[in-house]
């Protein structure tokens, strides 16, 4: 129903109660986020956080000669503090007051939690990277990096998934309907993107063995993401919330970016050709898919907030969490 | 109020229409209470006596110096305001029942529903819980206000609000909403909308008093045969669900909440934070273990 339809379209006392609206006007205000700016940040935060986490695991248990992969991961972790922070500040409506985010820490606000996660990640990730870079002159710094990378990896794990809580802790029906599934989707998509980026780096340095391990991890992460996507769509259907967009195919791009890399790897294993070009493409597609996932979730959420019926169906007594 | 407010004897001190100075504790004369910090204040909006005059909208705009949102007609009955926004903190909704005209008039109003919507000043305010700068805070009057010198316009309070109230202004890049006339309360005055309401559809007072008054009004209406009357936003009722506890600005309605563009069972978004963080971290930790199993290579 459009806002201009006459009120007789929703007569009082007629029709299913929860399907009534006020002239079809939104009952909520949609998030005033720029989908490509905030989506871009969520993608970079996930990529950086996961790259730091994976390079830490590789440094702790992996082969000595794969050190190049580890330092590549530490470089990738610089994306969130630099480009990511710039995107966040750009999205503020009063950017010159960005530092007010640092006045407080509030545990009910994922945006506040995320601010401090990003701060911790920037500090420890930055220390790890600078120690890696200076290790040529001062070999002792290599050991410092081995220590600082651990808190950086922990903050990185938080950074790669807290953005889902940020969206779920709103009243936007599509984001709020399945908080756990959304967090798993974002977390596994981050790990897939981190593994894909590291695999590209490893292949570039000729570390094919490491690249293959990373590709396997990417496929596992993408399959976890696919399962969580199915679970989240089921929950939305149960609550009768539309998951679709009027859209420009971003959702389709995200689905392709999630499933095609898995398919390409299946082909490369089935044909036993170990075609590096195929794997190269799979990594790039997974990275693009991870970005499209975040932008499409933002877009679909903003559209769902503008559909009053979706919100009223979400805000029904039967959907209340137990104990409230 | 049909029974009339308990008017203060102080009205006798002001026999002239011209006042020599600002009245101290003016709310005592206009709302029958003295505004004291540390107590809990709110609005009781009784939609059965609303006549849709929009005096509340005008008084709010005038006192708070708010610019016009848009000039023009929406085509939605007499509602040309549309919705609450950064510049509109009271909004009168008009619901015309064209499909089902009765032959006799009900005990109140005509075949219209009118309702003056406002920020609910939730007991557990989702906007305040989302605000990462601390710009949104609870005042000494138990109301929720955005500090304009702190807000950096991140906009996170906007989707957090379960009632679509808070909005970021494109004019100044800050979040805005009803302050329950914080400045007037500090000066002992009744909020502008409540003072201007000619039928006392909007009543200002201490929340506990208002809730009691509202319960009596519902009983009175039920006695008159308006059995559909109920309260929205009082403890245990619709609108006060999902951890919101209760709304300091609550309503007496006679149709489903959705008819007035209100959700029946809104939730407190902060309750979703822990579950989401834990399951996200669990997924990432699981995949990190998979990475460990794949990468491990003793050499």
ipTM comes to 0.92
Which residue, among B227, B196, B233, B195, has the nearest Cα to B214 in the 3D structure?
A: B233
Q: What would the pLDDT profile of A157-170 be if each residue is shown by its tens digit?
A: 999 999 999 999 99
For residue A100, what are the CA distances in angstroms to A166, A284, B141? 18, 37, 25
Q: What would the pLDDT profile of B52-85 be if each residue is shown by its tens digit?
A: 999 999 999 999 999 998 888 998 889 999 999 9
Q: Tell me which residue in A26, A103, A195 faces B133 most closely, judged by beta carbons.
A: A103
Rounded Cα–Cα distance for residues B48 and B274 (Å) = 41
- Mean predicted confidence (pLDDT) in B174-179: 98
pLDDT given at position B9:
78
CB burial class (10 A; 0-12, 13-18, 19+) of residue A15? exposed
Buried b (16+ CB within 10 A) or exposed e, B265-299: bbbbbbbbbeebbebbbebbebbbebbeebbeeee
Rounded Cα–Cα distance for residues A248 and A292 (Å) = 11
Q: What is the DSSP code string of B86-121?
A: SS-SEEEEEEE--S---SS--SSSSSEEEEEEE---
Rounded Cα–Cα distance for residues B131 and A169 (Å) = 12
Q: What would the pLDDT profile of A105-156 be if each residue is shown by its tens digit?
A: 999 999 999 999 999 999 999 999 999 999 989 999 999 999 999 999 999 9
For residue B36, what are the CA distances in angstroms to B209, B249, B252? 14, 18, 26
pLDDT given at position B110:
60
Per-residue pLDDT at B104 exceeds 70? no
Structure tokens given for A320: 């209340």
Does A176 contact B272 at a Cβ distance shorter than 8 Å? yes
- Which comes out higher in pLDDT, residue B172 or A17? B172
**Cβ-based neighbour number of residue A82 at 10 Å:** 13
Q: What would the pLDDT profile of B191-231 be if each residue is shown by its tens digit?
A: 999 999 999 999 999 999 999 999 999 999 999 999 999 99
Count, residues in chain B: 299
Instruction: For A257-309, give the secondary structure using H, E and C.
Output: HHHHHHHHHHHHHHCCCCCHHHHHHHHHHHHHHHHHHHHHHHHHHHHHHCCHH
Q: What is the mean pLDDT of chain B?
A: 92
Phi, psi of B203 (to 5 degrees): -115, 135
Which residues of chain A from 13 to 72 reach within 8 Å of chain B, CB to CB? 13-14, 17-18, 20-23, 25-33, 50, 53-54, 57-58, 61-64
pLDDT given at position A9:
40
Rounded Cα–Cα distance for residues B97 and B116 (Å) = 18
**Is-contact A293 A185, C-beta < 8 A?**
yes
Which residues of chain A from 213 to 272 reach within 8 Å of chain B, CB to CB? 213, 216-217, 220-221, 224, 228
Any A CB within 8 A of B68 CB:
no
Compute the Cα dihedral for A9, A12, A16, A21 and give only its sign: positive
- Mean predicted confidence (pLDDT) in A302-311: 94
Buried b (16+ CB within 10 A) or exposed e, A231-263: bbeebbeebbbbbebeeeebbebbbbbbbbbbe
Is residue B23 very low, low, confident or very high in pLDDT (cuts 50, 70, 90)? confident
Rounded Cα–Cα distance for residues A124 and A197 (Å) = 21
Count, residues in chain A: 324
pLDDT given at position A16:
59
By C-alpha distance, the chain A residue nearest B171 is A93
Instruction: Mention every residue, 6+ apart, whose C-beta is less than 8 A from residue A211.
Output: A199, A202, A203, A279
What DSSP state is assigned to residue B68? P
pLDDT given at position B20:
82
User: Which residues on neighbouring strands pair with residue B91, listed in sequence order?
Assistant: B117
Does B294 contact A321 at a Cβ distance shorter than 8 Å? no
Q: What is the mean pLDDT of chain A?
A: 91
Per-residue pLDDT at A179 exceeds 80? yes
Residue B26 DSSP SS3: coil
Residue B250 DSSP SS3: strand
By C-alpha distance, the chain B residue nearest A317 is B265
For residue A4, what are the CA distances in angstroms to B69, B77, B80? 18, 10, 12
Among A79-93, A173-187, A189-203, B96-110, the range scoring the smallest mean pLDDT is: B96-110
**Segments of chain B assigned E as strands:** 41-46, 90-96, 112-118, 136-138, 144-146, 167-168, 175-176, 202-206, 230-232, 249-253
Rg (CA), chain A: 22
Which residues of chain A from 75 to 134 reach within 8 Å of chain B, CB to CB? 91-95, 97-98, 100-101, 103-104, 106-113, 115
User: Which residues on neighbouring strands pair with residue B243, listed in sequence order?
Assistant: none
């Amino acid at each position: 129903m459009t806002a201009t339809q006459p009120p007789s379209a929703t007569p009082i006392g007629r029709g299913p109660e929860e399907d009534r609206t006020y002239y079809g006007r939104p009952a909520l205000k949609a998030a005033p986020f720029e989908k490509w700016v905030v989506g871009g940040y969520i993608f970079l935060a996930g990529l950086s956080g996961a790259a730091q986490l994976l390079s830490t695991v590789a440094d702790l248990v992996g082969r000595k000669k794969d050190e190049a992969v580890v330092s590549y991961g530490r470089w990738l972790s610089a994306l969130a503090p630099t480009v990511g922070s710039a995107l966040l500040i750009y999205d503020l409506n009063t950017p010159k007051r960005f530092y007010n985010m640092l006045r407080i820490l509030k545990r009910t606000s994922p945006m506040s939690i995320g601010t401090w996660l990003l701060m911790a990640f920037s500090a420890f990730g930055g220390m790890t990277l600078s120690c890696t870079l200076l290790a040529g002159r001062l070999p002792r710094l290599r050991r410092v990096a081995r220590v600082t990378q651990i808190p950086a990896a922990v903050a990185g794990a938080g950074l790669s998934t807290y953005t889902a809580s940020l969206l779920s802790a709103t009243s936007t029906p599509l984001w709020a309907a399945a908080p756990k599934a959304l967090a798993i989707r974002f977390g596994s998509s981050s790990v897939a993107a981190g593994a894909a980026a590291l695999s590209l780096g490893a292949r570039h340095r000729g570390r094919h063995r490491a690249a293959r391990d990373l590709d396997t991890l990417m496929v596992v992460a993408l399959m976890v993401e696919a399962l969580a996507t199915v679970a989240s769509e089921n929950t939305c259907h149960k609550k009768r919330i539309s998951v679709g967009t009027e859209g420009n195919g971003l959702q389709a791009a995200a689905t392709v970016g999630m499933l095609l890399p898995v398919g390409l790897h299946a082909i490369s294993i089935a044909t036993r050709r170990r075609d590096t070009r195929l794997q190269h493409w799979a990594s790039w597609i997974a990275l693009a898919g991870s970005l499209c996932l975040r932008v499409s979730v933002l877009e679909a959420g903003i559209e769902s907030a503008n559909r009053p019926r979706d919100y009223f169906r979400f805000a029904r007594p039967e959907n209340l969490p137990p104990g409230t | 109020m049909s029974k009339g407010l308990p008017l203060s004897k102080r009205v006798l001190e002001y026999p002239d229409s011209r006042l020599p100075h600002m009245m101290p504790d003016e709310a005592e004369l206009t709302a029958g209470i003295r505004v004291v910090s540390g107590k809990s204040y709110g609005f009781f909006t009784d939609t059965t006596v609303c006549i849709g005059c929009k005096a509340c909208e005008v008084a709010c705009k005038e006192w708070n110096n708010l610019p016009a949102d848009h000039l023009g007609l929406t085509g939605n009955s007499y509602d040309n305001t549309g919705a609450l926004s950064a510049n509109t903190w009271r909004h009168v909704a008009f619901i015309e029942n064209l499909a089902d005209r009765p032959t006799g008039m009900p005990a109140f109003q005509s075949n219209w529903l009118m309702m003056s919507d406002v920020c609910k000043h939730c007991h557990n305010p989702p906007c305040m819980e989302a605000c990462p700068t601390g710009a949104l805070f609870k005042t000494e009057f138990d109301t929720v206000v955005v500090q304009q010198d702190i807000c950096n316009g991140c906009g996170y309070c906007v989707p957090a609000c379960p009632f679509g109230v808070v909005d970021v202004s494109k004019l100044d890049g800050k979040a805005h909403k009803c302050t329950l006339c914080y400045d007037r309360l500090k000066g002992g005055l009744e909020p502008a909308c409540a003072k201007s309401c000619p039928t006392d559809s909007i009543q200002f007072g201490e929340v506990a008093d208002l809730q009691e008054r509202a319960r009596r009004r519902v009983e009175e209406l039920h006695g008159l045969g308006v059995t559909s009357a109920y309260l929205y936003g009082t403890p245990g009722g619709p609108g006060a669900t999902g951890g919101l506890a209760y709304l300091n600005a609550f309503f007496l309605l006679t149709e489903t909440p959705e008819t007035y563009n209100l959700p029946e069972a809104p939730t407190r978004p902060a309750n979703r934070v822990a579950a989401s963080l834990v399951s996200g971290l669990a997924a990432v930790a699981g995949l990190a273990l998979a990475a460990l199993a794949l990468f491990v290579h003793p050499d």
